[in-house]
């Protein structure tokens, strides 16, 4: 890109460090490695809360009472089944379609069938947030079943959100260790301030478009390997490496080739990502119990090397890859599983945007030519 002259306004590429909104949903301190949802430390929530409590916290700004949580659980249960036309579209997709593409399409379709479709008030948008949280889990499980030629597994009203997702995916009830691991992973991924997909959701919402449009935008943004797609890329890299003894030599070669190592680096964190602390521990536990500790060991080798050589810490996607792999989740569902959680943060940000809205419309510094004269098509060389 040409360098603008000194009279040009300063362009902040990638909007790094730009503060674009007031928000009380998620606090991130990239220097101290601290992260809060609505004032509660992520470590405290990961240790004690359930994903459903965290969802309520993000939408309402306070932890639910028992009565409020029971009501939310009933609403989530009631919203798990998809409208038949949405399920038909999932079933009709090509078997080799990317799950993120099908998820993005399904959420857009769900907007058409939403009972509150034309209502953009807060009560309606809170209902849409709950509904989408329940439905996205069903969509992701149904995508995997459909492409394998299997019928969707109807939701089990006796299971919480994390356990029911694993049940709908695999067709058997998960054990408590798997359920707890996924529940914690969902808590850790629920929100992260103005990350790219959330910003995308807020830009769409700021035009006063509807919740489903904002979430569809967010899913499209999450897909990229520099954002949510990194967890899939991490697992593919580990599988290619294959063995612990190959880990460091492969990474060295990749760095020498100027390749980025997926799952490392972060726009905000310059120290350990507090979410990675939990995911590392969970990865060890889950890989050990499946007799596949080598994926964890390989990750540790890479992590130590990247820190020593590049001063880069791993991010949320690095250890979530091996956690999901050990949970038996297919690799191309890792990013959709991110969405199963992040829908709560996205929708909370949409609610916050609507509550005090201003169109988000930055400027670009024009660096193209000026004063060109139109040449009729037949005279163009
Ligand atoms: N592997 C190797 N080098 C990396 C790296 C990685 N994963 N992440 C950053 N770097 C290096 C860059 O090459 C660059 O070096 P340079 O200054 O010598 O050119 C420097 O660190 C800054 O990186 P940059 O890409 O400009 O930072 P950013 O803030 O724009 O991007 C990420 C942040 C997350 C997109 C970036 O770290 C990345 O691409 N990571 C891999 C993808 C990933 O894991 N994404 C999930 C994020 S949660």
The answer to whether 282 touches 181, Cβ cutoff 8 Å, is yes
Per-residue pLDDT at 271: 95
**Centroid of ligand 1 to alpha carbon of 260 (angstroms):** 7
Residue nearest to atom 45 of ligand 1 (CA): 226
Residue nearest to atom 30 of ligand 1 (CA): 267
**Centroid of ligand 1 to alpha carbon of 137 (angstroms):** 30
What does the alpha-carbon distance between residue 320 and residue 335 come to, in Å, rounded to a whole number?
10
Per-residue pLDDT at 6: 62
236's CB contacts (< 8 A; 6+ apart) are 331
What does the alpha-carbon distance between residue 230 and residue 215 come to, in Å, rounded to a whole number?
20
116: helix, strand or coil: coil
Per-residue pLDDT at 1: 60
pTM of the model: 0.96
**Centroid of ligand 1 to alpha carbon of 80 (angstroms):** 38
259's CB contacts (< 8 A; 6+ apart) are none
Counting atoms of ligand 1 from 1, which one is nearest the CA of 265?
37
Q: Which long-range contacts (CB under 8 A, 24 or more apart) does 255-260 make?
A: 255/309, 255/310
Counting atoms of ligand 1 from 1, which one is nearest the CA of 263?
44
The answer to whether 335 touches 229, Cβ cutoff 8 Å, is yes
- Ligand 1 pocket test, pick from 222, 224, 265 with the greatest ligand atom count within 8 Å of Cβ, gives 265
Counting atoms of ligand 1 from 1, which one is nearest the CA of 255?
2
Question: Which residues are designated catalytic?
Answer: 266, 317
What does the alpha-carbon distance between residue 222 and residue 66 come to, in Å, rounded to a whole number?
33
217's CB contacts (< 8 A; 6+ apart) are 200, 201, 203, 204
**Centroid of ligand 1 to alpha carbon of 252 (angstroms):** 16
Per-residue pLDDT at 5: 62
Q: How far is CA 263 from the centre of its chain?
A: 14
Tens of pLDDT along the chain (381 residues) come to 656 566 667 899 999 999 999 999 999 999 999 999 999 999 999 999 999 999 999 999 999 999 999 999 999 999 999 999 999 999 999 999 999 999 999 999 999 999 999 999 999 999 999 999 999 999 999 999 999 999 999 999 999 999 999 999 999 999 999 999 999 999 999 999 999 999 999 999 999 999 999 999 999 999 999 999 999 999 999 999 999 999 999 999 999 999 999 999 999 999 999 999 999 999 999 999 999 999 999 999 999 999 999 999 999 999 999 999 999 999 999 999 999 999 999 999 999 999 999 999 999 999 999 999 999 999 998
Computed on alpha carbons and rounded to an integer, the radius of gyration of the chain in Å comes to 22
Residue with tokens 């593919």: 236
Which residues have C-beta atoms less than 6 Å from ligand 1? 14, 226-227, 230, 260-267, 310, 312, 315-317
Residue nearest to atom 41 of ligand 1 (CA): 262
Total residue count of the chain as it appears in this document: 381
Q: How far apart are the first and last CA of the chain?
A: 26
Per-residue pLDDT at 180: 98
* Helix spans in the chain (H): 42-48, 51-60, 66-78, 84-92, 99-113, 122-147, 161-170, 176-189, 196-205, 211-222, 230-241, 244-256, 274-289, 293-310, 316-326, 334-355
Residue nearest to atom 3 of ligand 1 (CA): 260
Residue nearest to atom 32 of ligand 1 (CA): 266
Half-sphere exposure at residue 30, Cβ-oriented, CA atoms within 13 angstroms: 14
Measured over the CA atoms of residue 85, residue 348, residue 336 and residue 130, the dihedral's sign is negative
Counting atoms of ligand 1 from 1, which one is nearest the CA of 273?
48
**Centroid of ligand 1 to alpha carbon of 188 (angstroms):** 21
Residue nearest to atom 13 of ligand 1 (CA): 260
**Centroid of ligand 1 to alpha carbon of 266 (angstroms):** 7
């Amino acid at each position: 890109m040409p360098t603008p002259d000194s009279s040009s306004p300063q362009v902040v590429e990638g909007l790094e460090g730009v503060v674009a909104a007031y928000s009380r949903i998620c606090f991130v301190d990239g220097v101290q490695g601290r992260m809060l949802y609505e004032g509660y430390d992520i470590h405290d929530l990961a240790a004690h809360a359930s994903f459903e409590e965290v969802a309520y916290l993000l939408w309402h700004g306070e932890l639910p009472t028992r009565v409020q949580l029971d009501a939310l659980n009933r609403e989530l249960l009631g919203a798990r089944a998809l409208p038949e036309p949405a399920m038909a579209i999932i079933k009709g997709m090509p078997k080799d379609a990317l799950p993120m593409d099908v998820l993005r399409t399904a959420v857009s379709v769900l907007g058409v069938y939403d009972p509150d479709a034309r209502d953009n008030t807060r009560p309606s948008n809170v209902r849409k947030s709950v509904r989408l949280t329940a439905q996205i889990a069903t969509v992701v499980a149904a995508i995997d079943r459909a492409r394998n030629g299997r019928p969707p597994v109807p939701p089990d009203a006796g299971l919480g959100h994390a356990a029911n997702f694993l049940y709908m995916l695999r067709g058997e009830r998960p054990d408590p260790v798997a359920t707890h691991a996924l529940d914690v992973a969902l808590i850790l991924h629920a929100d992260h301030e103005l990350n790219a997909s959330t910003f995308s959701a807020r830009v769409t919402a700021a035009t006063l478009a509807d919740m489903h449009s904002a979430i569809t935008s967010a899913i499209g943004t999450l897909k990229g390997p520099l954002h949510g797609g990194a967890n899939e890329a991490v697992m593919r890299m580990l599988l290619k490496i294959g063995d612990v003894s190959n880990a460091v030599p492969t990474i060295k070669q990749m760095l020498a080739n100027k390749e980025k190592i997926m799952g490392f680096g972060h726009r905000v964190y310059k120290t350990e990502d507090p979410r990675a602390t939990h995911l590392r521990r969970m990865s060890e536990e889950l890989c050990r119990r499946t007799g596949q500790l080598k994926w964890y060991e390989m990750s540790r080798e890479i992590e130590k090397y990247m820190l020593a050589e590049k001063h880069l810490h791993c991010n949320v996607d690095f250890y979530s890859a091996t956690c999901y792999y050990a949970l038996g989740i297919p690799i191309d569902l890792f990013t959709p599983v991110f969405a199963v959680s992040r829908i709560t943060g996205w929708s909370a940000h949409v609610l916050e945007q609507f509550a005090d809205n201003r169109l988000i419309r930055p400027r670009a510094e024009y660096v193209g030519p000026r004063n060109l004269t139109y040449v009729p098509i037949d005279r163009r060389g």
